[in-house]
Amino acid sequence: MHTAESQLDPVPDSPDSSPTERVPGGRFLVRLLLAVYAAAVTVIAFWPVPVDQGMRVGVLRFAAFVRANGLIGLQYEHIEFIANLLMFIPLGLLLTLALRPRPARWVPPLACFVASTLIELVQFTLLPHRFTTVSDVIANTIGGALGWLIAFAVIRPANRKVDRQSGAFDGS
């Protein structure tokens, strides 16, 4: 009998186990990618000046071009929100793959929220030239949650395909 809990925390070799557990070295590779990506996010987040400082004019021109061609209302703040969201998608995805199957499903999105909140607090207290906003935390958390959802959207179909090929898929 399948319970909700068994669906949340699958065991290796089950239909819900991560593909990283089926590939030799897969878990190591995912954790290595996570470490490299987290280091890149850290550099971007704690750079002493805004990383888009030299690109603001170009971003504003892009926003004006898009508005002129039908997407009314696109502002710099929207582009910044989307960029923050996109930056955390890989983090949520890699955290989900690196931590499966042990932690509860909600750990990666919560970790993205906590990381984003800490980034904003450090920027507020230690980096006077950086701007701290709640919208950054919201965008980063949404991005991390999207990465988490993408991981599960990819894992389940991939596992079912592998199980069908090996004859282990029971259809449940």
Q: What's the average pLDDT block by block, 10 residues per block, for the chain (172 residues)?
A: 40 48 74 95 89 74 80 79 95 89 78 96 94 94 95 75 56 44
**Residue pair 88/147 in contact by the 8 Å Cβ criterion:** yes
pLDDT on residue 76: 78
Q: Which structural domain, as residue segments, surrounds residue 90?
A: 14-166
pLDDT on residue 6: 38
**Would residue 111 count as lying in a domain?**
yes
**Would residue 8 count as lying in a domain?**
no
The DSSP annotation for 40-64 comes to HHHHHHT-SS-TTGGGHHHHHHHHH
Structure tokens at 65: 């071009």
**Would residue 3 count as lying in a domain?**
no
**Would residue 9 count as lying in a domain?**
no
pLDDT on residue 105: 75
Structure tokens at 137: 């935390």
**Would residue 152 count as lying in a domain?**
yes
**Would residue 104 count as lying in a domain?**
yes
Q: CA angle 101-103-108, nearest 5°?
A: 100
pLDDT on residue 144: 96
**Would residue 112 count as lying in a domain?**
yes
> Which of 145, 42, 46, 51 lies closest to 90 in space, CA to CA?
145
Q: How many domains does the chain have?
A: 1
pLDDT on residue 32: 94
**Would residue 77 count as lying in a domain?**
yes
The Cα 152–Cα 99 span in angstroms is 12
The CA R_g of the chain, rounded to the nearest whole Å, is 20
The Cα 122–Cα 151 span in angstroms is 29
Structure tokens at 30: 């995912």
Tokens 């593909």 correspond to: 19
